[in-house]
Amino acid sequence: VVGCPMVYVENSPKHLDSNFEYLLQKIQNKKFKILAHARHIWSKESLQHFGEYSKNNDWIIRSYSEFLFKTNKNDSILILFEYGPDVEKSKMLSSKLNLNENIIWLPKMKRKYILELIKRIDVVIGEFIQIKNTLFGGVGYEALACGKPLINGWLFDEGYFQKKFGYPSPPLLKVKTENDIFIHLISLYSNNENRKEICYESKKWFDDYNGIGLARKWIDLILN
């Protein structure tokens, strides 16, 4: 299986929107910055209407609430996007758990801005589709491309990924249950050296198997 390169991070935009610059200034002093920019779809009503699999975004909000209870509420921020049919339900859940001061909601934006945001945060939380052998999408590749720890659902049997795709599975922080998210957040928050190591391994994996490495593989196939 030969994948298709889908994220390019080598160049940054020459000019950033003033509102985006303000956002970066707003979050820069936070010790622990979390981004979860997947589409919100998790309620029974939405799943019945759209016929899609749940991304279980509500797991993120509840896990973050528990994380704040165990840590310093003033030195972390969770960034979410107004994207998907369950945004209002996610906002209601956040309010119910008294998280409004620790969550920033952003409108949908172009990937070039999302990548610039990822470069400035500490961890990306993806999606948690409870279907075996389901790989992450753009959110996961964007996180790994920027060399950031990725917390994401992972229901692959041992060795299956490498057998199917021909290269090692990504060094993401694997989630099978909601509580796994909380455990990973506490670990990343508490151990900066471990976080740096995951950042290095994430970037290396992307460059070797999906970024420049994959582009070179396509060039070889075309030329030969």
SS (H, E, C) the chain: CCCCCCCCCCCCCCCCCHHHHHHHHHHCCCCEEEEECCCCCCCHHHHHHHCCCCCCHHHHHHHHHHHHHHCCCCCEEEEEECCCCCHHHHHHHHHHCCCHHHEEEECCCCHHHHHHHHCCCCEEECCCCCCCCCCCCHHHHHHHHCCCCEEEECCCCCCHHHHHHCCCCCCCEEECCHHHHHHHHHHHHHCHHHHHHHHHHHHHHHHHHCCHHHHHHHHHHHHC
Question: Going by DSSP bridges, is the β-strand pair 123-125/150-153 parallel, antiparallel, or unpaired?
Answer: parallel
Mean pLDDT of 61-78: 95
Q: Which of 35-49, 103-117, 198-212 has the lowest mean pLDDT?
A: 198-212
pLDDT in tens, 141-190: 999 999 999 999 999 999 999 999 888 999 999 999 999 999 999 999 99
* Rounded Cα–Cα distance for residues 80 and 179 (Å): 19
pLDDT of residue 194: 94
pLDDT in tens, 98-157: 999 999 999 999 888 999 999 999 999 999 999 999 989 889 999 999 999 999 999 999
Q: What is the pTM of this model?
A: 0.91
Locate 49 and state its tokens.
């209407």
pLDDT of residue 16: 78
Mean pLDDT of 190-219: 84
